[in-house]
């Protein structure tokens, strides 16, 4: 068995083996009941110690991915064992009809659900969660929106309850085209397609442009919902590293030369999860490359208007002379996610294909909500809300940064995002955000472990902290708890390492 190991990496070898096998088992490359090589054979083949392999197998066993039969070997467990179903009416998996059981062998666990399961175990009575993709519910303009809906009902009556135009309510598309023109993206309402959230827009584009077995180039790390979406379509993900100026363009070019992807998916403004913005020259170079290699770009501008510092850079779509950018945005982050209104901008034959795909997916996005949204924007309430929300999120971001400055131990690094909802934090060398989680949740704080945002190799030393949902006081308390958990974790690790060092005769 060939397992790519990086012996220079800080990631322990047993964990590299564990992660490789875990991914192979989850994607069914190693089927149920497959007998893994003995620890002796694998360790000899990989040039590592037997204990390293045994540790990796033990991790897999603790996750229910393999079962070890003493004297016989280590076998891949059937999927039902690791997709453990919640007990329903006391039923065991084997009590389900066969067609239900068959589903278990065909399903896969989306990274988002995997993470939710990991986070669900907290038992603290008052946990503070920095883990979600959430905006602040207490900032939602619920009353204003209720009044707008009532006004729309008085104005439009029964018409508001029909399916409406399947491309979206025409005045809303006009309004969006107008807003985009103000941001340097000239477009026509006929090129705007209203979708049920931007997640649906991503899904439509992926369905139309990428066939199963094809590949998509993405930032690494990237939005977890995009990873899950592409995986659900059996699409291969080619990750390109991100630095403080966004996607590394030389790596994009190398990837384009090596293997022609069907699509480049990027979040250039306040990238989720790292918060970085793609530099202006990289934006231009990316568009040039996309044109040269004839690959469309899917630009997700989900956080673009949530800017707290500095000046906005032009969207990729605003720099796109040849129409190779498909632009996606949403009212979820800037207004309220429960509206489920997003949109995409595309032209040519693609627009028509996307429209047909939208039609087969859900016929149309809620007509009533689109009408209310259009009315809400037209009277200037949306812009006023956006200013209020940005002011509040800026304070919340600053509170998180101040708390990190005040409480985090040495070796923890982060970058202050100029907008968006999240801060990306790097733990001291060798500390895994997954391993730290039990300690943190005991203290009453949870976060999103960064490894879930990587399309392939999953480095564990990152975490994503969402500062948007909490007041500055609550954020301060949450970060204080997190720092306490980390200090405890580090001193426990040090205490565990000490006897080992002495045992190995290492003097310090």
Q: What's the CA gap between 177 and 180, in Å, rounded?
A: 5
CB of 233 to ligand PLP, least distance (A): 16
Q: What's the CA gap between 161 and 153, in Å, rounded?
A: 9
Asked if 197 touches ligand PLP (CB under 6 A), the answer is yes
CB of 362 to ligand PLP, least distance (A): 13
> Tokens for 242?
């991100």
**Stretch in the footprint of ligand PLP (CB under 6 A) among 183-191, 193-201, 207-215, 360-368:** 193-201
Residue 300 or 443 with smaller CB distance to ligand PLP: 300
> Tokens for 338?
């429960």
Among 16, 272, 274, 365, binds ligand PLP (CB under 6 A): 272
Q: Please, which residues have CB within 8 angstroms of residue 450's CB and are 6 or more apart in sequence?
A: 221, 273, 424, 433, 459, 460, 461, 462, 463, 464
Asked if 366 touches ligand PLP (CB under 6 A), the answer is no
Residue 32 or 179 with smaller CB distance to ligand PLP: 179
* Cα 119 from chain centroid (whole Å): 15
Among 337, 419, 450, 469, binds ligand PLP (CB under 6 A): 337
In sequence order, which ranges of 294-366 are alpha helices (DSSP H)?
A: 348-362
**Stretch in the footprint of ligand PLP (CB under 6 A) among 49-57, 330-338, 346-354, 490-498:** 330-338
Residue 337 or 455 with smaller CB distance to ligand PLP: 337
CB of 270 to ligand PLP, least distance (A): 9
Asked if 365 touches ligand PLP (CB under 6 A), the answer is no
Among 135, 267, 324, 433, binds ligand PLP (CB under 6 A): 267
Nearest residue relative to ligand PLP (C-beta): 197
Beta pairing, strands 236-243 & 462-466 = unpaired
Asked if 302 touches ligand PLP (CB under 6 A), the answer is yes
The contacts found for 430-438 with CB under 8 angstroms, 24 or more apart, are: 430/10, 430/461, 431/461, 431/486, 431/489, 431/490, 431/493, 432/15, 432/460, 432/461, 433/460, 433/461, 433/462, 433/463, 434/118, 434/460, 435/460, 435/489, 436/485, 436/486, 436/489, 437/118, 437/119, 438/121
Alpha-carbon distance values, 289 to 21, 299, 417 (Å): 35, 15, 27
CB of 272 to ligand PLP, least distance (A): 4
Asked if 118 touches ligand PLP (CB under 6 A), the answer is no
Residue 129 or 330 with smaller CB distance to ligand PLP: 330
Q: What's the CA gap between 6 and 8, in Å, rounded?
A: 5
**Stretch in the footprint of ligand PLP (CB under 6 A) among 99-107, 169-177, 195-203, 316-324:** 195-203
DSSP string of 14-79, one letter each residue: HHHHHHHHHHHHHTTSS-TTPEEPPHHHHHHHHTS-HHHHHHHHHHHHHTTSEEEETTTEEEEPPH
CB of 348 to ligand PLP, least distance (A): 24
CB 263 within 8 A of CB 205: yes
Q: Of 103, 129, 99, 135, nearest to 116 (Cα)?
A: 129
Residue 267 or 463 with smaller CB distance to ligand PLP: 267
Among 19, 52, 187, 199, binds ligand PLP (CB under 6 A): 199
CB of 197 to ligand PLP, least distance (A): 3
CB atoms within 10 A of CB 315: 22
Q: What's the CA gap between 384 and 392, in Å, rounded?
A: 13
Asked if 466 touches ligand PLP (CB under 6 A), the answer is no
**Stretch in the footprint of ligand PLP (CB under 6 A) among 105-113, 196-204, 362-370, 397-405:** 196-204
CB of 25 to ligand PLP, least distance (A): 28
Among 164, 225, 304, 459, binds ligand PLP (CB under 6 A): 225
Reported as type and span, the H/E element at residue 330 is strand 325-330
Q: Of 336, 105, 302, 102, nearest to 222 (Cα)?
A: 302
Q: Which of residues 122-181 bind ligand PLP (CB under 6 A)?
A: 133
Residue 199 or 274 with smaller CB distance to ligand PLP: 199
Residue 19 or 195 with smaller CB distance to ligand PLP: 195
Asked if 370 touches ligand PLP (CB under 6 A), the answer is no
Q: Return the DSSP state at 323.
A: S
Write the binding mask 73 to 102 for ligand PLP: x where contact by CB under 6 A, - elsewhere: ------------------------------
**Stretch in the footprint of ligand PLP (CB under 6 A) among 191-199, 205-213, 430-438, 461-469:** 191-199
- Residue pointed to by tokens 């101040």: 402
Residue 18 or 385 with smaller CB distance to ligand PLP: 385
Asked if 111 touches ligand PLP (CB under 6 A), the answer is no
In sequence order, which ranges of 310-380 are alpha helices (DSSP H)?
A: 348-362, 367-378
Asked if 342 touches ligand PLP (CB under 6 A), the answer is yes
Q: Return the DSSP state at 270.
A: S
Asked if 223 touches ligand PLP (CB under 6 A), the answer is yes
Asked if 419 touches ligand PLP (CB under 6 A), the answer is no
Q: What's the CA gap between 458 and 11, in Å, rounded?
A: 10
Asked if 198 touches ligand PLP (CB under 6 A), the answer is yes
Q: Write out the residues near ligand PLP by the rule CB under 6 A.
A: 133, 197-199, 223, 225, 267, 272, 300, 302, 330, 332, 337, 342
């Amino acid at each position: 068995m060939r397992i790519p190991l990086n012996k220079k990496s800080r990631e322990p070898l047993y964990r590299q083996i564990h992660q490789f096998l875990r991914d192979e088992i989850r994607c069914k490359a190693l089927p149920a009941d497959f007998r893994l090589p003995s620890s002796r054979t694998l360790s000899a083949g990989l040039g590592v110690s037997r204990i390293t392999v045994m540790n990796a197998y033990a991790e897999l066993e603790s996750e229910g991915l393999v079962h070890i039969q003493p004297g016989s070997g280590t076998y891949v467990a059937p999927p039902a064992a690791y997709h453990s179903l919640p007990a329903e009416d006391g039923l065991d998996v084997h009590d389900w009809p066969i067609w239900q059981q068959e589903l278990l062998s065909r399903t896969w666990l989306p990274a988002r659900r995997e993470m939710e399961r990991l986070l669900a175990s907290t038992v603290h009575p008052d946990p503070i969660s920095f883990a979600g993709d959430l905006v602040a519910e207490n900032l939602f303009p619920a009353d204003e929106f209720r009044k707008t809906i009532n006004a729309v009902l008085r104005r439009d009556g029964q018409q508001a309850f029909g399916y409406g135009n399947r491309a979206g309510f025409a005045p809303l598309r006009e309004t969006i085209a107008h807003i985009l023109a103000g941001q340097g993206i000239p477009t026509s309402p006929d090129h705007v397609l209203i979708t049920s959230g931007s997640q649906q827009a991503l899904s439509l584009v992926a369905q139309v442009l990428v066939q199963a077995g094809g590949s998509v180039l993405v930032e690494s790390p990237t939005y977890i919902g995009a990873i899950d979406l592409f995986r659900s379509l059996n699409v291969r993900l080619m990750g390109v590293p991100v630095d403080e100026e966004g996607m590394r363009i030389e790596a994009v070019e190398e990837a384009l030369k090596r293997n022609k992807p069907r699509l480049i998916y990027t979040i250039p403004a306040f990238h989720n999860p790292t918060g970085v913005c793609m530099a202006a020259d990289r934006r231009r170079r990316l568009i040039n490359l996309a044109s040269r290699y004839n690959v469309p770009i899917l630009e997700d501008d989900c956080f673009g208007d949530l800017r707290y510092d500095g000046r906005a850079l032009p969207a990729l779509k605003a720099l796109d002379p040849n129409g190779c950018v498909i632009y996606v945005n949403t009212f979820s982050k800037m207004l309220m996610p429960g509206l489920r209104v997003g949109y995409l901008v595309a032209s040519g034959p693609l627009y028509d294909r996307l429209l047909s795909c939208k039609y087969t997916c859900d016929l149309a996005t809620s007509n009533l909500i689109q009408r209310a949204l259009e009315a809400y924007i037209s009277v200037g309430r949306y812009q006023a809300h956006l200013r209020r929300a940005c002011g509040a999120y800026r304070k919340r971001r600053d509170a998180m940064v101040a708390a990190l400055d005040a409480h985090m131990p040495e070796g923890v690094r982060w970058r202050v995002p100029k907008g968006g909802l999240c801060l990306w934090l790097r733990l001291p060398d060798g500390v895994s955000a997954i391993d730290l989680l039990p300690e943190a949740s005991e203290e009453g704080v949870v976060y999103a472990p960064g490894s879930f945002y990587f399309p392939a190799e999953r480095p564990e030393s990152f975490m994503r902290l969402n500062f948007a949902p909490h007041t500055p006081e609550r954020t301060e308390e949450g970060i204080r708890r997190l720092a306490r958990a980390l200090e405890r974790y580090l001193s426990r690790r040090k205490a565990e390492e000490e006897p080992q060092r002495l045992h190995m005769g290492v003097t310090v």
